[in-house]
A and B are shown apart, each in its own frame.
Chain A
Amino acid sequence: ILNVEQSPQSLHVQEGDSTNFTCSFPSSNFYALHWYRWETAKSPEALFVMTLNGDEKKKGRISATLNTKEGYSYLYIKGSQPEDSATYLCASANTGNQFYFGTGTSLTVIP
């Protein structure tokens, strides 16, 4: 069992603010780190898959970085909009095809 931790657990920001979340995972036997966006009453949707130390990925106003040596990833949202309100999940794959998800960061963007 892998211990994947996300912080903060929840976050409220004003529209237009930039924000970031953290995902911590065991660095040993690292394979990949995934970020998913999960809106209420919907299914999780993939944002990024990162495998290499120093990886940086970007999709619109959302970006992510990866540090496999120290076992953390950051997700950044620039200029938050109400439609960004969702729970953001990270998942680490360290052995085989098993995935371990964190409990997520719930983001609420206040108009």
Chain B
Amino acid sequence: EAQVTQNPRYLITVTGKKLTVTCSQNMNHEYMSWYRQDPGLGLRQIYYSMNVEVTDKGDVPEGYKVSRKEKRNFPLILESPSPNQTSLYFCASSGTAFQFGEQYFGPGTRLTVT
């Protein structure tokens, strides 16, 4: 089954404790992206990747890091999480350039930073 998976689905952590949210897709997609969803705001792009070892900042990259060492995986790293990073996070992938291809979203990761 074609899918995008994320782990963990739920995470409660404390300020400053490094964490990684994993994202994996099995569709051989080149393009992957991370978004955060906050109440009253639209999905906001954090980082995106156009291929292995090619990443770039989205609209709200501060406080996040990403890496793309393999085509299928695109982890999101929070080196020192803060309460304002409490949010619902989605990973997405696309088989063509984002502009022209529909994005497939993962199930979401709900992160709470206390």
| Known contacts A46-B104, A93-B99: A101-B43 contact under CB 8 Å | yes
Among residues of B, the one whose C-beta sits closest to the C-beta of A44 is: B105
Which residues of chain B from 29 to 61 have any CB-CB distance to chain A below 8 Å in the complex? Answer: 31, 33, 35, 40-45, 48, 50, 56, 58-59
Q: How many Å lie between the Cα of A36 and that of B106 in the bound state?
A: 14
Report the minimal beta-carbon distance from A47 to chain B, rounded to whole angstroms.
8
Q: How many Å lie between the Cα of A75 and that of B43 in the bound state?
A: 19
- Residue B90 interfacial (CB < 8 Å): yes
Please state if A32 and B100 are interface contacts (CB–CB under 8 Å): yes
Among residues of B, the one whose C-beta sits closest to the C-beta of A92 is: B99
- Residue B7 interfacial (CB < 8 Å): no
User: 22 interchain pairs (CB within 8 A)?
Assistant: A31-B99, A42-B107, A43-B90, A43-B105, A43-B106, A44-B105, A49-B101, A49-B102, A51-B100, A96-B56, A97-B33, A97-B48, A97-B56, A98-B58, A98-B98, A99-B58, A99-B98, A99-B103, A100-B45, A101-B42, A101-B44, A103-B40
Report the minimal beta-carbon distance from B104 to chain A, rounded to whole angstroms.
7
Count B interface residues, CB 8 Å.
27
Report the minimal beta-carbon distance from A24 to chain B, rounded to whole angstroms.
13
Chain B residues with CB under 8 Å of A45's CB are 105
Q: Dominant SS at the B interface? A: loop
Among residues of A, the one whose C-beta sits closest to the C-beta of B105 is: A43
Chain A residues with CB under 8 Å of B101's CB are 49
Name B's A-contacting residues (CB within 8 A): 31, 33, 35, 40-45, 48, 50, 56, 58-59, 90, 97-108
Other than the given A91-B42, A93-B99, 17 more pairs (CB < 8 A) read A32-B99, A42-B107, A43-B90, A46-B103, A46-B104, A49-B100, A49-B101, A93-B98, A97-B48, A97-B97, A99-B43, A99-B45, A99-B58, A99-B103, A101-B44, A103-B40, A103-B42
Report the minimal beta-carbon distance from A45 to chain B, rounded to whole angstroms.
7
